[in-house]
Structure 1
Amino acid sequence: MIKEFCAENFTDIPAAIRSGAGRIELCDNLAVGGTTPSTGVIEEALQYAGEHSVPVMTMIRPRGGNFVYNDIELKIMHTDLIEAKKIGTDGVVFGCLTDTNWLDEEALELLIETSEGLQITFHMAFDSLSKENQFKAIDWLAERGVDRILTHGGSAGTPIEENIPHLKELIAYAAERIIILPGGGISYQNLDQVKEALNVDEVHGTKIIAINE
C-alpha cells in the first residue's frame, strides 16, 4: 500500500516520511487545491525524500480556480515542468481542460511529451468532467502513457464513502491500463475501509497518515 501524502511546502515532509508516507505530492496553496511550489521547496523536498527513497510528484498548476488555461498560463506550466524536471523531480501532477468539458488535448500532449522519463499523474481536474467523458478520458490518458488519475469519484466535499460505487466503475474500466488513485476525504481513520471496498494499492490525502500520533 502506497500512502501518497499531499504536502503543502516542505514543512511536514520529514514527519510524514517518518510516519509512513511512501510517496509525496508536493504543492503550495492547498487552500485552492494546490499550485506549483517554488524551486527552492522542490529542491529541499527532493533532497530529503530522496535520502529516504521516497518519490516526489510535483504539482504543475499556475493558479487556483478552474482548469481551463490560456496560452500564457500554459507557457508558465510548461516552464515550471521543465524546471522541476531539471531539479530532479520523480514525477509531475497536472490537468488541463477545455471550456467544453473535455481534456485540452493539445496542451496535455505538450506537457506529456515534456514529461518524458517522469511519472505523470492527471489530477482532480478529472472530477470536473462528465461521467461519460471520464471513461473516454481514461482511454485517452492511458493511451498516452499517463501513469495514474487522482480522483475523488464525485463532487468536492462529498464523503468518499458516497463515491465508492463510481470509483469501482472507474477502476474496473481502467483495467490496470492506468492507476485510479482515490483521494479527497481519505484519512488514516477510514483508510482500511476504503482499501477494502476498492481493493487499491495506492491512496492519496493530506491526512493519509497520522503525523502527530
Structure 2
Amino acid sequence: MLIKEVCVENFTKIPAAIRNGAKRIELNDNLAVGGTTVSRGVMAESIHYAHEHNVAVMVMIRPRGGNFVYNDQELKIMEADIFSAQELGADGIVLGCLTADNQIDAEAMEMLMGAANGMQIVFHMAFDAIPINQQNGAMEWLIDHDVKRILTHGGPLDQPIDETRLKTLIEAAAGRIVILPGGGITTDNVDALTTRLQVSEAHGTKIVGTL
C-alpha cells in the first residue's frame, strides 16, 4: 500500500488531508520558506487529531528559513522543540543540520537525535544541498545513526524531480533506509512516479489533491 505523506502548514488542512487519504502528516509552519516548527499549541492539537484517525505525525524541527547551518542558540531552540514533540506524542521529527561546506553536521545531529529518544528521525531536503559525489557517504552516516528516511527531490527544488538520481539513491540505500521522494509530487503523478521508482512512500503538499 502506498503511504502518502502530506506536507501541511499548521493544523488547518489536516482534517481535509486525512479525509483525502493521507497516512502521514509532516507538520510545518511557514511553508513559503520551506517549513519551520509550529507552535506547541498547533503541535498538540495536530498530533491529537491525527492520532484519533490513526495517522502518524512527523514534526518539522527548523527554527527559521534559509540555510541549514545552525548556531548554538538555534540548536538549543531545536532541542527544546524536540522535547515538546516527544512529550506531546509525535511519531517522529524531520530535521537536517549541515556544516558551512554542506556536509552533515555530525555533532549537531547527534545532539538533536539524542533528544529525540526513540522517535522516528527523517533527514529532510537539506540532503539535496550535499554535493552529489558525497551523498552516498552521508547516507551511510544516516544509516549508521538509525535515521528512518531521507526526504529528497533528487536535486534543486526549482528543477523537475530527478528520477534518475532518485533511482541511484534507492539502489545505494538497498532497503537500509527509506528514500522518500518529495517536491512536485501531486495526486496526478504520484501513482506513476512511485511505480517507476518502485517505492511505497511519497511526500508532497498536493499529494492527496489541493486542500
SS of 1:120's partner is: strand
What is the percent sequence identity of the aligned residues? 58
Cα deviation, 1:187-207, whole Å, max 9, x if unaligned, reads 011112211210001000000
Ranges of 4+ aligned residues in structure 1 off by more than 2 Å:
none
Matched residues in 1 for 2:42 and 2:84: separation?
Answer: 12
Structure 1 letter corresponding to 2:21 = G
Residue in structure 1 matched with residue 25 of structure 2 by the alignment: 24
Residue in structure 1 matched with residue 77 of structure 2 by the alignment: 76
Deviation at residue 182 of structure 1 after TM alignment: 0.2
Cα RMSD (Å): 0.8
Matched residues in 1 for 2:167 and 2:201: separation?
Answer: 14
Partners of 1:19 and 1:211 within 8 A in 2: no
Matched residues in 2 for 1:166 and 1:27: separation?
Answer: 26
Deviation at residue 81 of structure 1 after TM alignment: 0.7
1:179 and 2:178 correspond: yes
Residue in structure 1 matched with residue 38 of structure 2 by the alignment: 37
Deviation at residue 83 of structure 1 after TM alignment: 1.1
Matched residues in 1 for 2:130 and 2:185: separation?
Answer: 21
Residue in structure 2 matched with residue 199 of structure 1 by the alignment: 198
Deviation at residue 115 of structure 1 after TM alignment: 1.1
Cα deviation, 1:158-210, whole Å, max 9, x if unaligned, reads 111xx000000000000111000000000011112211210001000000012
Number of residue pairs the alignment of both structures matches: 210
SS of 1:26's partner is: strand
Partners of 1:8 and 1:27 within 8 A in 2: yes
Deviation at residue 211 of structure 1 after TM alignment: 4.8
Matched residues in 2 for 1:11 and 1:137: separation?
Answer: 35
* Bigger mean CA deviation after superposition, 15-24 or 187-196: 187-196
Structure 2 letter corresponding to 1:191 = V
Cα deviation, 1:67-103, whole Å, max 9, x if unaligned, reads 0011111111111111111111110000000012200
Matched residues in 1 for 2:186 and 2:210: separation?
Answer: 11
Residue in structure 2 matched with residue 190 of structure 1 by the alignment: 189
Residue in structure 2 matched with residue 13 of structure 1 by the alignment: 14
Counterpart mapping for 1:139-158 below 5 A: 139-158=140-159
Deviation at residue 116 of structure 1 after TM alignment: 2.0
SS of 1:126's partner is: helix
Unaligned runs of 5+ in 2: none
User: What is the TM-score when the length of structure 2 is the normalising length?
Assistant: 0.98
Matched residues in 2 for 1:36 and 1:139: separation?
Answer: 27
Matched residues in 2 for 1:125 and 1:2: separation?
Answer: 22
